[in-house]
Structures are given as structure tokens and as C-alpha cells.
Amino acid sequence: MNKPLRIIFAGTPEFAAIHLAKIIQQNLHKLVCVYTQPDRPAGRGKKLMASPVKELALQHNIPVFQPATLKTEEEQKQLASLQADLMVVVAYGLILPQAVLDIPTLGCINSHASLLPRWRGAAPIQRAIQAGDKETGITVMQMEAGLDTGPMLLKATIAITEQDNGGSLHDRLAELGATTVIKAIDGLANKKLTPEKQDDSVACYAHKLNKEEAEINWQLAATDLSNTVRAFNPWPICYSFIDGVQLKVLEAHVEDRSGKAGEIINISKEGLIVTCGKQALCITKLQLPNSKPLPFWDVYNGHKELFTPHRILGK
């Protein structure tokens, strides 16, 4: 192997911290510093909280930089002074201008949770589940100014199972991404990777998630709703209303039943069956306001007045 690379790591959430942990554990290259987003207010007390990446870096005595932007000449000079060979970017959350991408000798690489160009953008994990994709994976790409458009260096694929939700797939992809990034760093260090251009014609944009789109539209097919329930767990979590009370739907599956969209047609220990635009959704795990998530039957036994046959869900 050639001499160890001088690496800058840029990332913010837990997904990125898992990648950073793997690089630290490998200890094959010199981690010069970490870039992460500024501390943000969080929790009920709105205390300033360090990102998972910052916390991990400080535990290992790695210098941390937290600029609000990398677009200023001052910040770019600071980054250039670190004389990095490579910048590894994972869910950093800040746009890197071309001037920054050009600073490290080998440029900047990004670990993206999609088999590019399938899902570019902010929420590739959830959008893959929501779309009913059967597989996804990690793409390590050479970064360029466009959004997730850079040449692909390395890919790793995993299946999306019926049991996967946004949380479980996130965790599996974080581990896969960490391993794949290590291979990519070594491949670049040894000049063994050949960049592959993306086919822009088959790219989809993975829009950022929001709470408004999590409201269930019972006119849609049950398959689409079931996929979305899985995709949006643990956030933003799908919901509907019954008699003005919000119901958060955490787990559900498709039943081959029919009726008026949004109508309760069956109540049992197996779940609450609600008809959709096509087929029906059997809701097996729910959460009421100011309560914890529970199996449907437990919720029903405490709130039978809410769940009566032929009642219509929605506002």
C-alpha cells in the first residue's frame, strides 16, 4: 500500500458517525480533523447539542471544525491549510462549493445511501422503501458541484425486506456504507478505482421528508400506504384522524378486502382493517396522543369508543 492518506471527515448525524467510527477503528490513514454542523438546540430545554460526529471525534481527540458555511474565502483557506489528500463526506448537510471540492489532492468522496443514480437527494432510504424497491445499497462517488451527480467509484447492494422500515434500513446501510467507504479509501490510495459516469436519464429525486405528507390518503392503494408506513417509521410516522383524534400508524400490512376508502371494516386481535382506494390496510401498531406506541388490540381495549365498524378515518 502507498503511504497513508491525510483525510478530512465531514458529517453530522448518526449515519455519518458510524462511518467515522470505522475509519478510526481501521487506523490505516491519518484523520486530520472532522467538519460537522454547528451545535443545534434540541430537547425540551432547547440546550445546544453536539452532533454524533462531533461527540465521537472529541472522544478520540480529533480536532473539530463547525463553520456555518464553507463558501467564504476564510473558511476555504483554513481547509486548504490542513493539506488533506482526501475529504470523506457523509450526510454533512452543508453544500460544498467547487473551490472546496478542488482543495484535497484526491478531491472529495461521498457515501450515499442509494444505488445511484436511482435516488439522488435528501431521503434516499425512505423513498426506496416507499417506492416498493426490492433492493438498495451504498454508492461511494467522487463529488462534483451537482447534487449526487458525481462519477461512481464503488457500489454495494442489499435487499429491502418486507420487515424493513426507515429505521432498520438506515442502520443496515450505515454499516454497509462504513465498510464500503473503507474499501473506497484504500482503492483511491492504491489507484485501483475507475470512476463510472452516472446515467442521468434514470435518476429520481428523493425529496426531503415532511410531516404533512405523512397524513394518510385512504384513496391510495393499500400497497402504497403499507410501503409509506414502513418508510416513515421512525420519522415522520404516518397518521390519520378518527373523531378528531390523531392516530399514528407504526405498523400495517395489506389485506385483500374492499369497501369505502377510509372505512373501518373489521376489528380483531390481529388488527384494525381499514379499506383503501384498492384493497385494505390492517393496522397492527398504533400510537394515540400522549401515549406510547402499542399493539392495536391494547389501544382498542382502552379506547373502544373510537373504533366502531363503518366509522370513516380522516379529518
Q: Are residues 29 and 129 in the same domain?
A: yes
Query: What is the average pLDDT across 126-155?
Result: 97
Q: Are residues 120 and 199 in the same domain?
A: yes
Q: Are residues 183 and 38 in the same domain?
A: yes
CATH number for position 282: 3.10.25.10
Q: Are residues 56 and 140 in the same domain?
A: yes
Residue that terminates a domain, selected from 169, 189, 206: 206
Distance CA 134, CA 25 (A): 32
CATH number for position 69: 3.40.50.170
Q: Which three cell numbers stand for residue 177?
A: 456504507
Task: Give domain status of residue 41, yes or no.
Answer: yes
- 280-302 pLDDT, tens digit each: 999 999 999 999 999 999 999 99
Grid coordinates 435528501 are at which residue?
122
- 236-260 pLDDT, tens digit each: 999 999 999 999 999 999 999 999 9
How many structural domains compose the chain? 2
Q: Are residues 235 and 270 in the same domain?
A: yes
Q: Which three cell numbers stand for residue 91?
A: 450526510
- 211-231 pLDDT, tens digit each: 999 999 999 999 999 999 999
- 179-209 pLDDT, tens digit each: 999 999 999 999 999 999 999 999 999 999 9
Is 115 marked as binding a ligand?
A: yes
Task: Give domain status of residue 309, yes or no.
Answer: no
Task: Give domain status of residue 307, yes or no.
Answer: no
Q: Which three cell numbers stand for residue 66?
A: 463547525
- The pLDDT value recorded for residue 63 is 97
N-to-C CA span, the chain: 63
3-class DSSP state for residue 285? strand
Is 94 marked as binding a ligand?
A: no
Is 116 marked as binding a ligand?
A: yes
Task: Give domain status of residue 259, yes or no.
Answer: yes
Task: Give domain status of residue 311, yes or no.
Answer: no
The residue segments making up the domain with residue 10 are 6-206
Residue that terminates a domain, selected from 157, 180, 206: 206
CB atoms within 10 A of CB 214: 20
- 51-100 pLDDT, tens digit each: 999 999 999 999 999 999 999 999 999 999 999 999 999 999 998 999 99
Residue-by-residue DSSP string for 39-104: PEEETTTTEEE--HHHHHHHHTT--EE--S-S-SHHHHHHHHTT--SEEEEES--S---HHHHTSS
Nearest to 108 by CA among 4, 7, 26: 7
Residue that terminates a domain, selected from 206, 225, 257: 206
Distance CA 282, CA 218 (A): 12
Nearest to 89 by CA among 166, 175, 9: 9
- The pLDDT value recorded for residue 46 is 83
The helix (run of H) or strand (run of E) holding residue 171 is helix 166-189
Q: Is the pLDDT of residue 14 over 70?
A: yes
Task: Give domain status of residue 92, yes or no.
Answer: yes
| pTM metric for this prediction | 0.95
Q: Are residues 235 and 164 in the same domain?
A: no
- 168-178 pLDDT, tens digit each: 999 999 999 99
Residue-averaged pLDDT of the chain: 96
Is 114 marked as binding a ligand?
A: yes
**Contact of 243 with 148, CB cutoff 8 Å:** no
Task: Give domain status of residue 270, yes or no.
Answer: yes
Beta bridge partners of 119: 204
Q: Is the pLDDT of residue 1 over 70?
A: no
Q: Is the pLDDT of residue 43 over 90?
A: no
Distance of CA 162 to the CA centre of its chain: 18
